[in-house]
Structures are given as C-alpha cells and as structure tokens.
Amino acid sequence: MTTESYWCEHAWLGDGSVQTGLLIEVDSGAISSMRVVDSAPPGAAVLPGITLPGMANAHSHVFQRALRGRTEGAGNMHTTFWDWREQMYALAATIDPERMHRLARATFGEMLLAGITVVGEFHYLHHQAGGVPYHDSNEMGHAVLRAAAEAGIRITLLDTCYLHGGLASGGHVPLAAEQQRFGDGSARSWIERVSRIEPVGMARVGGAIHSVRAVDPDSIETIATWSWRVTAPLHAHLSEQPVENEQCLAVHGLSPTSLLARHGALSERFTAVHATHLEPGDLKQLARSDSTVCMCPTTERDLADGVGSARKMSAEGVRLALGSDSHAVIDPFEEARAMELDERLDKMVRGHHSPVDLLHAASAGGYESLGWPGGGRLDIGRLADFTTVSLDNPRMAGIPDADLLAGTIYAAGAADVTHVVVGGRLVVSDGHHTSIDVVGELRKAMR
C-alpha cells in the first residue's frame, strides 16, 4: 500500500480542543505521522471542514434496513416491540444470500456516507427456511463479509447463537417456525460452524449470545469459554424490555446480567447491547468486569424501549459505545447526541455527558467493543480511519472554532459528511461513495 497524505483544515485529536491545519500521513493503512502545517503541501488530499476519528456502528442488523418506513404507516403502527418483531420476522423470511449481499452492500455504503468506518454486524439469519443449512453453512455470513469488503467498510461479524424461542414458566421453549433459520441446534454446533467462517481484508469474526431468552445457561457458558479461548469479542442483547427481566427472574432467579455473569460471559471483551432496564446491582457487575454497554438510541426510541441511564453507567465506570441497530436512521451524530438529549427528557436535567464523552462513545468506544482497539483516535500508529464534516452548510455555518466539537455533535448530521477514509483509502469524496451508487443500490435492494 502506498503512502498517502491528507491535510485537515481542522481536526479533533481526542481532548476538548480542535487543531487547525493538520497534515496526516498514512502508510500501510495506519497513521505514520502528523504535523501542523499552514496549508496543504503538493500531493496531499485536502479535507475541508472538521476531521474526526472514524465513527463506529457497534450494533447493526443490516437486513432490517428494509423495514425503514414500513412499520410506521397506516395499518402498520403497532404499539409494542413485540408487535414490531412479527414484522421483522416476516421480512427475515424473504432474505436469501443474494438479497442479503445486495442489501448489506447498499446499507454499508449508506453507513460510509454517514461517516461510519467500522460496523459490528449482529448476524443471526443463518440458514434456509426450516433451519436447513445452505451448502456452505456460512453462506449468509460470507455474503455479509463480501458486501463489507466491496463497500470498503471495516467489519466485525458478530455471529449470533440463537437456540430457543423464548422463556416460559417451565424454562426455554423451542424455536418457533419463523425462528428456525436462526438456530444451530446447540452451542457446540454453533462453534463448529463459526470456526469455518473465512474473514478477508478488513474483517474479523466475533460471537454473540442473542439474549438470555434465546440461549440457555449451559450454552452461555460454552460460548463464553469459546470467546476466551479465541480472544473474540462477545456481545449480547441485554434487558432491552422489562418482560425479559421478569421472565429471567422467574425461571432462573437472577437478572439477565447476573445470569450472564454467573456463566462467565462478562469480561473486558463483552458488550451488553441496550441495557435499558437494568436491575439494581447490574451496573456494578458490568463495571467490575470492565464490560461495555452499546446503546442504540434511535432504535430504542423507535421501538418504545425506554431510555437507558448512560449517566449512571458512565459514573460507575462502564464503557459506552453506540449502534444504529434496526437502521430506522443511520446517523452517528444523532446517536451520540440522543444519548444525552433523551436522558435530558427523562431526567429533566442537562449536561449528563460532555461532547468529548459522546464522541468517544461514537468512535473509540465502538472500535474497542468490536475488537479493533487501534481505531477511533487520530494518533500515530492508529488505524487510518477518519471522517470529515463540512462547515459549509446551514447547520455548521458561523460556529466559532472554539465550539466546533460541540457544534458538530449537537448540530451536524450524516448529510454533512463529505470525506471518509478507511485504512488510508478515500472511500467517500465530496459526499459521494467512490465506487458505489448508494442511492441506486438501495432502491434496487428494497425492490
């Protein structure tokens, strides 16, 4: 890979200040040098605006992008998460590997246009109808990985274990007909399949426990042991709905967090997704284990999940990341400010998180959660993943240099991203993907 250089009009280096006139040189996909210069030297690409570390989408269900708008109109506006889930199942039944590839490629392109440079794909749509494996048992996962490589986004495929249809008074219930495609029969069969996934390029493989509803305690322990053995990130949906807590307590006598802790899932490589309805004591367990919580505010508000307390999490020392989950909207700036603004509405108090904290959750926090600790910060030796936001638009115009960081977090949006670099390569230039017609591909994928 040849050496590239990028001159940033403004750049955020990790504290509360913004540097003007920063030249970033890249070698073999990593930042090799940084220095302040007054103007762009010959041959350097100019990035006008404010350049930030690449944004991380730590929780994605890429096929659910096809639901956007379809669950909101007349006749589709149901009242609960559980109603919405039935519509999601109906969509999942229509996805085959070819459609998964087309939809994922277009949606990853949309993420790049929004400034997202790494994605964690929480992938549980594995098999054919009835749970029959494809000839390549990882054909769906390979379709997702291929789509990411073609779009130019970094990815961690969080292959998800999904064994049961839910919790009831007698314990776990079998998979329903619409869930058969998700299951592998046992945790050991899941491990055998995952071990055959072949990531290429800017891709890694991690694991996921769908939820305590879908994975029994013995299987949780098996998966956690696998995660330790292969040093892979491990994610799980956790306490997204109060019903999940009630069922887990009734069946196991523990909160979902305590159940995962008892069976070895919590660690510095573990990420709890949502964690909206934590029980007393759950936060301390997550903090003691150095786990991360990935909040998905735009999906949590869309599904009426509730508002999690990121302020309490942060105060306890729980690390934070952000994701777009069902892709009701793909906008990392909206996710970041929503973590603060939604809690303002809930608590009727301002100032739970600083702009630096919010941007860290949207960048480095997600990179670490996904097993890419070299990303999410502009510094020598770090991954050359960065995003530039234009200042030449009505949302950002006139903001003083001293307030650029706060202004970006609280006013900018995905449409203001003009340039995106992943692994040292420019993949978005002047607001357009350099190789994909994202709008055209999204339209075709939706059809």
pLDDT in tens, 19-35: 999 999 999 999 999 99
Does 1 have pLDDT greater than 50?
A: no
For residues 446 and 66, give the distance between their C-alpha atoms in angstroms, rounded to a whole number: 6
Q: Cα–Cα distance between 80 and 4 in angstroms, integer?
A: 50
- Please indicate whether the domains covering 4-53+377-435 and 55-235+319-369 agree at the CATH topology level: no
Q: Is the pTM of this model over 0.85?
A: yes
pLDDT averaged over the chain? 95
CATH code of the domain occupying 4-53+377-435: 2.30.40.10
328, pLDDT greater than 60: yes
Residue owning tokens 């073999």: 28
Is residue 269 very low, low, confident or very high in pLDDT (cuts 50, 70, 90)?
A: very high
Report the SS3 class of residue 354.
coil
Neighbouring C-beta atoms of residue 402, cutoff 10 Å: 11
pLDDT of residue 77 exceeding 60: no
Averaged pLDDT, 110-131: 97
Per-residue pLDDT at 32: 97
pLDDT tens-digit readout, 279-320: 989 999 999 999 999 999 999 999 999 999 999 999 999 999
pLDDT attached to residue 15: 81
CB 423, CB 3: distance < 8 Å: no
Residue-level pLDDT at 81 = 78
State the catalytic residues: 274, 325
How distant, in Å, are the alpha carbons of 18, 194, 327, 351, 363 from that of 58? 25, 20, 12, 24, 9
| pLDDT at residue 84, as a whole number | 84
- Interatomic CA distance for residues 182 and 208, integer angstroms: 12
Inform me whether the pLDDT recorded for 73 exceeds 70.
no
Residue listed under structure tokens 């869309």:
302
State how far the Cα of 406 lies from the Cα of 37, in Å rounded to an integer.
24
Task: Give the pLDDT score at 70.
Answer: 81
Helix (H, G, I), strand (E, B) or coil at 188: helix
* Mean pLDDT calculated for residue range 171-192: 97
Select from 391, 380, 383 the least CA-distant residue to 421: 383
Distant-in-sequence, close-in-space partners of 367: CB < 8 Å, separation ≥ 6: 54, 56, 118, 373, 374, 375, 376, 383
Amino acid at 336: A
User: Measuring CA to CA, which residue among 91, 89, 87 is closest to residue 99?
Assistant: 91
Distance between CA 73 and CA 255 in Å, rounded? 36
The stretch 360-365 carries a mean pLDDT of 98
Cα–Cα distance for residue pair 343/347, rounded to 1 Å: 6
Q: Strand 292-295 to strand 270-274: parallel, antiparallel, or no bridges (unpaired)?
A: parallel
Higher pLDDT, 132 or 3: 132
Is 100's pLDDT higher than 80?
Answer: yes
Is the domain spanning 55-235+319-369 CATH 3.20.20.140? The answer is yes
CA dihedral of residues 130, 131, 137, 140 (deg, nearest 10): 80
Determine the average pLDDT of the residues in 76-101: 86
Enumerate the domain spans of the chain. 4-53+377-435, 55-235+319-369
Mean pLDDT score, 222-239: 98
Per-residue pLDDT of 383-419, as tens digits, reads: 999 999 999 999 999 999 999 999 999 999 999 999 9
Mean of the pLDDT values across residues 141-167?
Answer: 98
Question: What are the angstrom distances between the C-alpha of 247 and each of 77, 134, 210, 213?
Answer: 26, 34, 16, 8
Within 10 Å of residue 290's Cβ, how many Cβ atoms? 14
Residues in the chain: 447
Residue 159: band (very low, low, confident or very high) from pLDDT cuts 50, 70, 90: very high
Structure tokens at 131: 């749970």
Residue 68 has pLDDT above 70, yes or no: yes
Beta carbons within 8 Å of 85's beta carbon, 6+ residues apart:
none
Please say if the pLDDT value at position 276 is more than 70: yes
- Alpha-carbon distance of 199 to 417, in angstroms, equals 29
Give the pLDDT band (50/70/90) at residue 16. confident
Q: What is the DSSP string of 246-308?
A: HHHHHHHSS-HHHHHHHTT--STTEEEEE-TTPPTTHHHHHHHTT-EEEE-HHHHHHTT----
> How confident is residue 76, by pLDDT bands cut at 50, 70 and 90?
low
Q: Is the pLDDT of residue 85 over 90?
A: no
CA–CA dist 148, 142 (Å, integer): 10
Give the pairing of strands 154-161 and 166-168.
Answer: unpaired
Segment 84-90 mean pLDDT: 89
